Structures are given as C-alpha cells and as structure tokens.
Structure 1
Amino acid sequence: MNKTLRAAVILLLVTTAAILAIPRPNLLSYQSSSRAFFDRQGKLLRLTLADDDRYRLQVPLQEIAPALREATLLYEDHDFYRHPGVDPLALLRAFWTSYVVRERPVGASTITMQVARLRWHLQTRNLSGKLVQILRALQLSRHYSKDEIFEAYLNLAPYGRNIEGIEAASLIYFNKTAKDLSLPEALSLCVVPQNPVRRNPTTEQGFQALKVARDPLFRRWLAKHPNAATQQSFFDMPLQIRPPEQLPFRAPHLTTELERHLPLMQGGHIDTTIDGDVQRMAEQHLARYVARRKDVGINNGAVAILNYQTMELTALVGSADFFDAAIQGQVNGCSAQRSPGSTLKPFVYALAMDQGLIHPMSMLKDAPHRYGGFAPENYDQAFLGPMLARDALIASRNVPAAALQAKVHPPGLYELLQNAGVQNLKPASYYGLALALGGVELTMLDLLKLYAMLPNGGRLQPLRMLNTASKSENPSSPLSSEACFLILDILSDNPPALRAPLPGQHSTGMEVAWKTGTSHAFRDAWAVGISGPYVVAVWIGNFDGSGNRAFVGRQAAGPLLFEIFQSLSGAQPWQATGNLKPGLLNVKQVDMCADTGDLPGRYCPRTTPSWFIPGVSPIKVSAIHRAVPVDSQTGLRACRQQPGRTEMRIFEFWPSDLQRIFREAGIALKTPPPFEADCDLDTQSLSGAAPKIQSPVAGLAYRLQSETLNTAKIPFSAVADADVRQLFWFVDDTFVGTSKAGENFFWSPVSGNFVVRVVDDHGRADHRNLRVGMVRDQEK
C-alpha cells in the first residue's frame, strides 16, 4: 500500500470516527418554509416564499402519494431500505469508471448521500467532496431511520426553478397536495431532481427532457405493475402544468396580515376561514362600486364579512385594489384604526336598556345641552326636539346619545371597548361623552366583534381567521339577550339604502339591522349590518385621512352594504334577529302611546306596538293627554264639568322642559288654556302634576370663593306641568323670586344649609336641601 493510499485510509477512519461522534444533526427545521394559505374549501389562496426566496413546504412521508414514493425509490435507489446509507459496490464501480478507467464521471449517490449533499450544500464532483458526502451519509444513517431520511429527501429535493420539496412542487405545478398526485404526475415529478434545470417542467424543452426520462421509468413501473398499462393514454397526453408565475394571489390583505403575525417558524399549510366564493364576490362588489362612484370622489374602501354563528371571518377586502399605489392599496383598511362615527351608538342604547334607563319608546331630548366644556351637535346642525329612543337611534342623533352615555354607569361603553380588545385606548376621561360620537379610533374587525354580540345575545367572542383557532368556551356577556333583541328590532326599521334590487336580482324581503357612521370632517363613511348568519361592515374613505363631503355613511357606504347582502342572501328572506326568539326571552310586546312612548292612558289618540323588558324597563302610564272641561263661550278651562256650559276637550300636558324643547324645534303643541279666574287654588292644585326641582342638584355641595362672593349665582330650575305659567321660589320659607315655567331663576347664595322650595301657580310644590360652603384659602 503506497503512502497516499495509506494516508487516505487513515484519514477516512479518523474522519469516520469524528463524524459518528457528532450529535444528531437537524434535517429539516434548520431552514424556513413557505406558507400555503387555503380557504375553507381547501383552495389555495396564496403561496409565500421562504426567507431565501424559494418555494419550500414540508410534508410527512405518509402524506405523499404511494406511487411517488415507490417510483422515486425505483428511479433513484431501489436498494435504499437494504444498504447502510452508502452502496459499497456502486461506489467501487463509480470509482473505477471515474478515476481508473476515466470513461465518464459516475456519482453512485444513494438517497441518503443525496440528502447529505442537499443538507450541507456539498460539492461532490471531486474526490474530497465525495468522501465528505459518504461520511455525512453514514452520520445520517446512525441518527435517523430510513423513513426519516426518505422523508427528508422528498422535502429537500429540487424540482425545477426555485421549488424545493415534493409538496411545493405538487401544489405549484398541479394545484394539489402531494398525497393526491396521479401516477403520470408522480412519475413526472420523481425524475426532475436528477437534473432540475434541464427537466424544468414549465418549459417545452424541459418537459420534453422530462418525458425522455419518465417514459423508461414507466416501462420499469409496468414490469412491477402490469395493470398500470390502462393509464398509457394519460402518459401520451401533455400534462397541464402551472408555472409559479400563475400562482393565485387571493385575499392578499388577510394573508399578508397572517404572514406578519404568525410565529416566525410556523410554515406549511395555513387553513383560513375565508370562503373563496364570498371573498371574490366582495372584491368584485367593492371594485365595481368604487368605479361607479368615482365621479363623487369615492376611490377606495374596505369590506369585511363575518359569520357570527361561528365567529369565522368569511371575507376580508382591505382596499379597492391591492396593487394600486395611488390609493395606497396595500394598506389593510380592515385593520386600520379609524374613527367609527356613530356606529357605537347602538351599544350606548343597549347599555341604557340593561340599566333600566330607557326602553325603545322612551322620550329623549334632542336639544342644545352643554356638559362642562362639551356641547354635542348633530350632523345636520339642527335639533328635532323630544324624540322616541328608537327614532333617535335610527336617525343617529348625537345629543340624545351623549345624554344617555352621561347617565350610563360603569361598566359602560368604555369598559365594553376594553373587553372587546380595542387597542391603544386612552383613559376614559380623554374621550368623555364624545366616545359614542366617534371620538375613539378602532378597526373594522373591532366593529365586527362588537356587532356580532347583538345576534349572539350579548356574548363577546373573538374573531377566528384560522380553522385551527379554538372557539371561546366561556365568553363574557356585557349585554343581555333582551337588550340585544331590542336593538336589533330597532335597527331593522332603519330604512334600507337600496330602494330596488340590483340588476338581475329580485327583492327577497330580506331584513337587515344596520347602522351607519360618519366621522368628523367627512373622513370616514361606515355601514355595518346584520342579516342571516352574517355581519357585514363597509368603510369608504381615503387612507391619507383626507375628507370628502360625499363620505356620509348612509349615502356612501350604505348602498354597497345592501348590494353585498343581496348577493349573500340570494333568494332567501333572511331575518336580522338570528337565534334571539322573543318567546324565549324576558321581553313583552304591548301597545304604547305613539306620541309619548308610555303605556297608553285613557285619552291617548293612537297606539303602536313596542317591546320592553319586564322588571327592567322604566315603563309607566302616559299622563300627557288629558281631558279637561272648557267653557264653550270663553274657551277657558273651567273649574269643573258643567253639562250644557262646558265640553271635555283633550290637550297635551307636556312637562315644561319638553315644552321648551318642542318650541325650540318649531313644533306646535295643543296645550291647555288657562283656568277661569274664579277657580280656587285647591281645585287647580289637584288637577295636574307637581313641579320637580332639577337645580340645585340633589346631594351636591356648592362652594363659594371670597373673591366672587358678590357675583356668584346658583340657578334654580324645575320641571313643571303643562298648565303652569309661573314658578315661585322660596329659601327657608323666605320668598326670593319668580321664574317662568321652563326658565331658570338665579339666586345670590350665602354660606349655610337651606331648604329650597318651589310652588307653581296652581299651588303644587316640591323642595330640596341645599348646602353652600366657603372655599378656604389653602383649598384654592
């Protein structure tokens, strides 16, 4: 043995010992993988590149078609399961042919040796590289089973272009997973790794070279499987192969969002909740709608559709065109925080209903009011006066909503937003009463989660974008099922934005409970609706925050919302209340006085059915409409009914605070005439309701400062009955002044404890304790 050969043998032995002593190497997870996103029907939405710009997906051996596994062994290494990772006889033949006879280079690589070359990127065309490959193969055989090594090969092998692994190759070329490959597809792919450049299946020359290698393999296959001869015709036909350039790129905003937030090393198949057909429909509707409305400056929008029964996101369209840089199309409008406008108002009303403050027909005040430094205004810069709660919500009046939010005690709207997971909330004091009017920023997905509470009976549950996500087992319930039902019933009466069905569609009698929102300076137009199993949210606006007077919720977003619902429902007459069945809830429907919103009194001119929550809703009998005797000659209110001289007439006895609001809104009332002069005070005092002091506020201590002592005033006000013209004010039985009904009297205070009393001009009275103190110098 010459010195060179002896040194080679010694080097081989030493290197072998060293390699065998090396710990178990990582076979697959050392490199990143692609992510294949699928819709709920198993159709590919998008395949991403791994960090090194290659398509690579890992798949277990048992999830690969048996035909491909067998054909790969038949073609590459038919003794794979019998040799120790290297084939000594094949190596000797290769050495003799390559280095002794020097006829042509012969590799003699087993599958294990190929795994070693792929795993460590070895250069095996020279003798030293081949020796390292052999040693690495022995190392792999020591640490891994044959199945594990075979699985690694099928996941690492090159299949042309920048495609690695049989799963990525199957998905790209044939739009199917490796377990579903047919025999022609399997035999075609298993010959690619030996020469992936020359046998690239996406080019005509490459496919011909592939076919030259595949046809002899099929003949060998027939020798083992004669029945496969029936598939000869399929081998004679060209294969339908898709190049990577034609991969789908569906739901790009959702997949980009998931790609950004999934764990770094989580690759492979990602099963989303997206319904591919619904996603396509939403994308088309948004694109067409924007194209139709460009004349009014509508260039962009977003749409999201949620199945509230499963809390699965069914469609997500983050912009009108993902590839349009002019509208910043790659921004995801569904996850961008924006002002929600008035879309949060239904939850203020629901909280107020649960806390017994209102029912759907409670009378609210749409009139100017100031809360400290905040004076809410309506969208139209007008005030409509007293309104029923359901009408105020449908008309989206700001003032009644702010008044309700001021009355709702915690947990209120702010806590509800916290429970819903709204991000970047500032302290509640930052928003004040503007919270329900669009003063906070949240996302479309936040709105979907909140609105899903309504048909789900108040249960607050997380959204699901992945089929692997678990359902919430113990969701919180910030709202009662009864309040949710009442809100849905109200919102179902909101007139639809589409007066007619889309071309080619027919009216289905579909019921949609929906609400709109318009943010400050017309930056955002919203519409959120519920019908059938879906919650749909629509946003129209610009990502740069620029406003447009066309961005009004009802006009800009509402029509698109109803177009989408029409396509979703087809011919089905969907309802909005979902699983909320009135017969299973603590709600009752009764006739209410249509004008006052209370149970009808004897003289209520007309009634309408409405729901309320027994034991919770503040329901009472209406006393607004009353019959009083009127002198037929003078038209004055008589002291008593006298047949032949008087007649009973019905008048509206609205409290003075509501009378004032009616007047400010320009609404005429049928108020009662004054009493006749000879009616005694006792008769008058028994004829109506006593006044109720509103200010001074009960339980509030008033503080005076020495420097303003001479100019300080405390307002006295009271709500009086409709027949009251004047109020008389007393402090500790001392008369201090008068005021007209519905107006304030201002008293110059002194320090001490007092009893404030008010008496109306019919002798009816009310009183309240008042405490006035001085602010000491150290308190200033």
Structure 2
Amino acid sequence: MKRGLLVLAAAFVLAAAGYLLCPRPELEAAYPQSRAFFDSQGRLLRLTLADDDRYRLHCPLERMEPRLIQATLFYEDKDFYRHPGVDALALARAFWATYIARSRRVGASTIAMQVARLRWRLHTGSLPGKLHQILRALQLTRHYDKDRILEAYLNLAPYGGNIEGIQAASLIYFNKTADRLTLPEALTLAVVPQNPVHRNPATTNGFANLQAARNHLLDRWLRAHPKDCHLNGFFDLPLSVRHPSRLPFQAPHFVNHLDAELLPTKCRIIHTTLDLHRQQTVEALVRAHIARHASEGLHNAAVLVLDRRSMALKAMVGSADFFDDAIFGQVNGTAARRSPGSALKPFVYALAMDKGLIHPASLMKDAPRRYGGFTPENYDQRFLGPVSAHDALILSRNLPATRLQALLGEPGFQGFLQQAGIGNLKPAEFYGLALCLGGVEVTMLELTSLYAALANGGELRSIRMLADGKDAAEPRRLLSAEASFLTMDILKDNPPPESHRIAAMAHGANQVAWKTGTSHGFRDAWAVGICDGLVVAVWVGNFDGQGNRAFVGRSAAGPLLFEVLAALAPDRGWTVEKDVNFSQLNLRQVDVCALTGELPGKYCRHTKKSGFIPGVSPIRVCSIHRAIPVDTATGRRACMHMPGKTEMRVFEFWPSDLLSIFRTAGIVLKDPPPFGEDCRLDQQATSGLPPSITSPQAGLVAAMNSESTSTRQVPFLAVADGDVRRLYWFVDNRYVGASPPGQPLMWTARSGTFDVRVVDDHGRAASTTLTVEWVR
C-alpha cells in the first residue's frame, strides 16, 4: 500500500512537472494565411489562397461579431470558461457510452481539445489519439488564456471545403468581414464546424442540412435570449450564400503587383487606394478601344490612373484582357519597362528653364546637327528652322530637345532621371543624347510619377497603393514650381486628337496638359495627361515587342487617354492655372520679340508675352533685327552712317543654318545688301557675329582607319551670320579651302592634334582643336 502511494505520488510529481515544463506552442501562426484585398470603399477585390491551397485569414477575437462568439460557445462548449481545457465528466460519459455500453459514439471534445486537433492535425478516433489530444489541450491551457484559445479555434475551424476560419468563411459566403455578420448569418456559421462536410454552405445537400442545424440552434438561442424573439422573422427569409467559385477577381494586375510587393510582410487584410468603380470603367474603355481598332493591329493596351493630389493609385489596367494568352494578357504593362519615346521631353524643357537656358518663347533651332557619331532626326524627317521652345515641345521636335539635353551640364538628364527614381539606369555615356528621345526604358508607374511631380509643382512623391499611406516615402524636389508650371502651361496647348477636338472646345470643358510618345520602330505608343486632380497614362503596343506603324502616340494612345479623362474627370472648366497660387511663384509675364523670343531691341517690330523666371530665365536682346547704314546712291551697305548719303534700314540677320532651311522650304527673305567696295575688311569685321564651328566638335577625338583614304575625311562646317557668303578654312594657319555657309568642306586628315580656324568673308573668325588618332 505504501509502495503504491509512493508510485502514485511520483506519477503526480512527474505529471505536474510535465505540465509546468511543457513548451509554449505556436497556434494558428503555424499555418499559412490568405490575403484579402479591398478597394478604397471596402469592396473585396480578391481573396487569395494560402500556400496550402486553403482559404484562411486570421481575425482577432475583438473583431468578430459578439453574437457569433456566443453562438459558437453555446453550440460547441457552453462550459468553456469553467473547465480547465478538458471536461472530465463529459469525457467519462463519452467513454462509458462509446466503449462500455457501446450504445452510440459520443463526443466530448472541448474547444481547447478541438484547437489541439486542428493545430496538430491529430487523428482522435482511437484511445491513443484521444489521449494525445487531451495532453495537447492541457498544454494549450497551460500557456494561453481562454480568449486566446477561443480566437485560435475560430481561426482554425473548418467551414466547408477548403475554407478555414471565420474571417475567410464570412468573406466568402456573405461578402463581409466577421464583425458585420447578422444574427442569422452568425448562427449559420456557428453550426458548420461541427460537421463541415454535411453542412457545407456551398453544396445543395449541405445547405439543407445546415439550415436544419441552424434552426435547432435558433430554438435554443431564443430560449436563452428571449429579447431576440422579434428577429425570428428574419430566419424565414432566404439566406443568400455565395459559392467560393464566385469570389471576385477584380483588378488582377493591381492585386498581383501588390501581392508581390507585400510578400515580405505579414499584412493579411489589405485596404488599398484603388477605386473599383473607376477600375471597371477604365477596363471597359480599354476593351472598347481595342475592339474599334483591332483591324489596325491594336490588340493590347495598359492604363494607369493616379490621384495626383494624394498620390493614390485609382485604377491599374495592365493589359486589354488578363485571360488572353495570345496577347500575354497576364503581363502587367504598367510595371513593364518600355521605351517612352518623346514622353520624357517635357522634363528636358523644364530642366532647361530651371538652368536659365530658355523660357517658353525662346527661339530654338530645328536644324540638322551632328553630335559625334549621333545625328538626330525628326519623326517626319523634316526641319522647321527657327521655332519657339513652346512650339518645339508641342510639335515634339527632336533636334531642339537633343540640343537642350546637350546644354544641361552635370548631372545632366541622366542624373535627373536617377534622382527621380527611374530604375535600371545605365551610365549617361551609354545613352548619349538619345536619352530624351526614348533611349531609356521606364515603367508606366515611373512615368506617371514624373508627370505627377510636374503637376505638383516639381515635387516628386511616391505613388500610394495602400490606404494607410505607409508606402509613401519623403517627397523630393526635382524641379522648381515655376518651371513646372511653365511646362504644364505649354502642354495644355497641345491640341487634342482629332476625334476629341469638338468636345475639347465645348463650354466648361477641362484643359488637358498632355504629351505623347512613340518609340523607335513603332513598338510603343504613349499618351500621358494631367487634368484636374488626375494623371492618366496610356500605352498601346505588343508585349513581344513587335512593331506596328499604327503605334503612334497621338493616334493610337491619345484618343483612349481623352476617353478615360472624359469618363473620370467631369467637365468643370478646370485649367492649369486653377491650382496655382501665383503670389507664391517667382514668375512674371514679360514682352519679348515675337520672332526670336529674346528681349526686344529697338528694331523689333512685334512683341508678345512670355512667362519669365526673374533671376533665372536668359536675358538676351534680340540680335536678328539690326539696323545698318545703306548708301542711298548704290544700295550697298556702308561702313558707317553718314547723314545725307546713307539711311538706316532694318534687316533680319538669320544664321546660315536657318537660312538654308528657309530656302529649302521656299521662304524668300530679304537679304542684307553686301558691303560697298570702299569698306575695308577690318571695318566689316567689327559688325555682326562671328562664325560658330559645329564640326569638328571641340574636344572630340576622331578615330580613323589609316589604311583607307576614303574614311580619313573630316567635315569642316560652321554656322555663319546672315550676311556671310563664303567661309575660309585653315589648319595650323595653313589655308585648306573654302565653302559656302551650311556646306561642309571635306579635309583629308592625318594623325595629330590640329588648330582648326574659320574666317568668314567679312574677317570674323572662330577656332577649335581637332585630335586625330589612327586605328587598325
């Protein structure tokens, strides 16, 4: 007897030690979770499967409908808060009925025991399995309070099929979170875990069994809660339950993008900035646009809609059809790197304004120019000659843009793009001056962010996709507010596509500041627009990179841009100036020469207004219009003004490269007369402007093949003043030949470093250095 007591005491001590020393187990955190994505209005976009192909979504107990918790306890374990995790009396009754009397199989699992079974996937149909379940339940109650165990049960309990946990069940069956369940819905879900196969709400037989079990629970509920008797009628109404196969699959590219971005985090309930209504509107517009233009080879498009004030992304359409494998529909065009064509040009102009190189009316040259081995051309392979910065940007001329990029200096346009967060950038030397023409690949997200910075006064802010704003970084200033406004003020004058011009002229119509882009080889057509509070970007193309001459920004992407803006931005007469507080901007409207954009000299006949940044914009007096003395007897230019013999007449002195374009275009200008024969060369040299050597370029090293005479030719070319007829070239002070302005003189090179000098026929000169190196 004494020995037996000792054995019993030892067993008790061991059991107590085991209970006290048992490790703290993880609960539902041991299982992978789904993610639920909601739009800005709380509408479910998608519920993803967990890694084990189950729908499982953790929900804290305090975010569950209290009546659901009460009904679950009432139905599953009414003494849950009174027993220590195992109900010994219930277990004894069940053991007697099942194994001794063999009358029927009786269950006695408490909620803690069910959590143990679910957590460790136990097989409890045998005595060893049941004992393992009991020990695990005691382990849970050793380390967790009752509320935490109840929370784990409601997050692990089966609710039919591959659905586990009350949050996933509530979202799938009733399209609402667990804290918004009605009493009929709460009682319905409370009875499912006890027999999830036969009470599966998604099957016909299961739903009938489920209603019977719920009605039985309702009778017990009303006896315990008589105050709810007035709700009895609601239980007679048909219960609408959604089948899991009808779960929403909205904004697929957006959800996939965000799901990939959030992979490292534990975020499971994701409230996004997306507006489902706008998303569906844009999707419909994309489908209609593609259908209308399918005969032209337009089969795919992508669109991004951004609220530029809050930087909240409102719609993301990554392709025309997510499920169309023929167009690689699951590729997200808004995150793919593509050539933007000319869509980056506005930022070159804005930077040039900030650096004091130009203002909107500045005269620019749309004329042929060679930069080392790069000779840019225009889309139409024509040249307009003198053109204002305003018109050069609107008309998307390549030559003025590359000239501005060349003048930006350090850190240059590549440095600007790097500061703007454009990814995968190579060194500036890799792109050269093709950078502003689409030589770099960007994503639509990056491009839209840049245009939003333009609309936000030059301040770059992160695009927000999460409603809580935690994905926003600190803003960075890329451009001045003044240059940003002047650039947008130019873009607003870009005429809309032909199909939308009548609507754009309507009373109350919004202004749209927009720019197009067409990549090399007609692979990508772009249109990006700012209107009221929105920035919208449109891309048309093929994900396999196949070109199509129909892929032109203005005609392929522009109409879709204006359709999206018409649908999303109601006409309220918005203008670019509407959101600008001019009292805080360092801007003035100044008179400039209408022809040159420079400050008007006393001989400029016509002026116009231009935006001007005091202390920054260039201050140059117009030099095209000049008054010269003309001999009244001979009509030739005099060396000096002699009243009575000469009179002052105003002529336009255009540089030779622009004069050449005028002549090609058939434009006849009145040339200034030649000097009189009595004018000495030193007298002529004091008037006008000296030549400007464009080839060879200063600092350029020419690498040539020493074995081939034909490849040893170096072109000498210079831009001369409007009164020059002949240019004379010298190498190391030796005369090598003459050429008309605008035409090259070909010089046969030899190895070495040379001083190249040009003198015009009035004695004005310029020089540069040329280095030639032989290669084999």
Q: Which moved more, 1:237-246 or 1:354-363?
A: 354-363
- 1:564 counterpart residue number: 564
Residues 730-741 of structure 1 aligned to structure 2 (within 5 Å): 738-741=738-741
Q: CA deviation at 1:655?
A: 2.3
Contact 2:158 2:192 in 1 (8 A): yes
Contact 2:372 2:697 in 1 (8 A): no
Q: CA deviation at 1:681?
A: 6.2
Q: Which moved more, 1:248-257 or 1:696-705?
A: 696-705
Long gaps (5+) in structure 1: 2-6
- 2:319 counterpart residue number: 319
Q: Distance in 2 between matches of 1:665 and 1:18?
A: 99
Shift of the 636–708 alpha-carbon distance from structure 1 to 2, 3 Å rule, reads farther
- 2:510 counterpart residue number: 510
- 2:145 counterpart residue number: 145
- 1:621 counterpart residue number: 621
Q: Distance in 2 between matches of 1:421 and 1:462?
A: 10
Q: CA deviation at 1:673?
A: 2.8
- 2:689 counterpart residue number: 690
Contact 2:500 2:559 in 1 (8 A): no
Q: Distance in 1 between matches of 2:373 and 2:682?
A: 44
Q: CA deviation at 1:344?
A: 1.3
- 2:422 counterpart residue number: 422
- 2:217 counterpart residue number: 217
Report whether the alignment pairs 1:455 with 2:455.
yes
Q: Distance in 1 between matches of 2:708 and 2:289?
A: 64
Q: Distance in 2 between matches of 1:201 and 1:262?
A: 32
What's the secondary structure of 1:604's corresponding residue? coil
Report whether the alignment pairs 1:586 with 2:586.
yes
Report whether the alignment pairs 1:96 with 2:96.
yes
Contact 1:290 1:300 in 2 (8 A): yes
After superposition, the C-alpha distances for 1:258-281 in whole angstroms (9 at most, x for unaligned) are 222322562520111111111111
Shift of the 265–371 alpha-carbon distance from structure 1 to 2, 3 Å rule, reads closer
Q: Distance in 1 between matches of 2:539 and 2:141?
A: 59
Q: CA deviation at 1:665?
A: 4.8
Letter of the aligned partner of 1:194 in structure 2? Q
Shift of the 509–603 alpha-carbon distance from structure 1 to 2, 3 Å rule, reads farther
What's the secondary structure of 1:342's corresponding residue? helix
What's the secondary structure of 2:330's corresponding residue? coil
- 1:163 counterpart residue number: 163
Q: Distance in 1 between matches of 2:564 and 2:342?
A: 21
Q: Distance in 1 between matches of 2:54 and 2:619?
A: 68
Q: Which moved more, 1:628-637 or 1:113-122?
A: 628-637
Shift of the 754–186 alpha-carbon distance from structure 1 to 2, 3 Å rule, reads closer
TM-score (norm 2): 0.90
Q: CA deviation at 1:355?
A: 2.0
Contact 1:33 1:265 in 2 (8 A): no
Contact 1:501 1:507 in 2 (8 A): no
Report whether the alignment pairs 1:245 with 2:245.
yes
- 2:4 counterpart residue number: none
Contact 2:357 2:617 in 1 (8 A): yes
- 2:668 counterpart residue number: 668
Residues 287-326 of structure 1 aligned to structure 2 (within 5 Å): 287-326=287-326
Q: CA deviation at 1:707?
A: 7.1
Contact 1:455 1:580 in 2 (8 A): no
What's the secondary structure of 2:387's corresponding residue? strand
Q: Which moved more, 1:19-28 or 1:735-744?
A: 735-744
Q: Distance in 1 between matches of 2:47 and 2:199?
A: 23
Q: Distance in 2 between matches of 1:709 and 1:44?
A: 72
Q: Distance in 1 between matches of 2:609 and 2:504?
A: 36
Q: Distance in 1 between matches of 2:742 and 2:93?
A: 112
- 1:335 counterpart residue number: 335
Q: CA deviation at 1:459?
A: 2.0
Letter of the aligned partner of 2:659 in structure 1? Q
Shift of the 18–715 alpha-carbon distance from structure 1 to 2, 3 Å rule, reads same
Contact 2:98 2:104 in 1 (8 A): yes
Letter of the aligned partner of 1:29 in structure 2? A
Q: CA deviation at 1:486?
A: 1.7
Letter of the aligned partner of 1:348 in structure 2? V
Q: CA deviation at 1:547?
A: 1.1
After superposition, the C-alpha distances for 1:711-735 in whole angstroms (9 at most, x for unaligned) are 9888766543322323456789887
Residues 25-174 of structure 1 aligned to structure 2 (within 5 Å): 25-174=25-174
- 1:547 counterpart residue number: 547
What's the secondary structure of 1:154's corresponding residue? helix
Shift of the 407–665 alpha-carbon distance from structure 1 to 2, 3 Å rule, reads farther
Long gaps (5+) in structure 2: 2-6
Q: CA deviation at 1:159?
A: 1.1
- 1:479 counterpart residue number: 479
Shift of the 638–473 alpha-carbon distance from structure 1 to 2, 3 Å rule, reads same
Q: Distance in 1 between matches of 2:514 and 2:382?
A: 23
Letter of the aligned partner of 2:381 in structure 1? Q
Shift of the 507–278 alpha-carbon distance from structure 1 to 2, 3 Å rule, reads farther
Q: Distance in 2 between matches of 1:257 and 1:340?
A: 21
Contact 1:385 1:664 in 2 (8 A): no
Letter of the aligned partner of 2:408 in structure 1? V
Q: Distance in 1 between matches of 2:751 and 2:192?
A: 98
- 1:397 counterpart residue number: 397
Q: Distance in 1 between matches of 2:429 and 2:281?
A: 42
- 1:411 counterpart residue number: 411
After superposition, the C-alpha distances for 1:247-303 in whole angstroms (9 at most, x for unaligned) are 111110011122223225625201111111111111111111111111111111100
Letter of the aligned partner of 1:205 in structure 2? N
The number of aligned residues is: 771
Q: Distance in 2 between matches of 1:220 and 1:424?
A: 66
Q: CA deviation at 1:384?
A: 2.1
Shift of the 507–8 alpha-carbon distance from structure 1 to 2, 3 Å rule, reads farther
Contact 1:752 1:771 in 2 (8 A): no
Shift of the 155–505 alpha-carbon distance from structure 1 to 2, 3 Å rule, reads farther
Q: Which moved more, 1:76-85 or 1:394-403?
A: 394-403
Shift of the 717–10 alpha-carbon distance from structure 1 to 2, 3 Å rule, reads same
TM-score (norm 1): 0.90
- 1:531 counterpart residue number: 531
Contact 2:691 2:759 in 1 (8 A): no
- Could you say what the CA RMSD is over the residues aligned between the two structures, in angstroms? 3.6
Q: Distance in 1 between matches of 2:100 and 2:560?
A: 78
Q: Which moved more, 1:637-646 or 1:220-229?
A: 637-646
Q: CA deviation at 1:231?
A: 1.0
Contact 2:462 2:473 in 1 (8 A): no
After superposition, the C-alpha distances for 1:128-164 in whole angstroms (9 at most, x for unaligned) are 2222111111111101100100000110111112111
Q: Distance in 1 between matches of 2:9 and 2:210?
A: 40
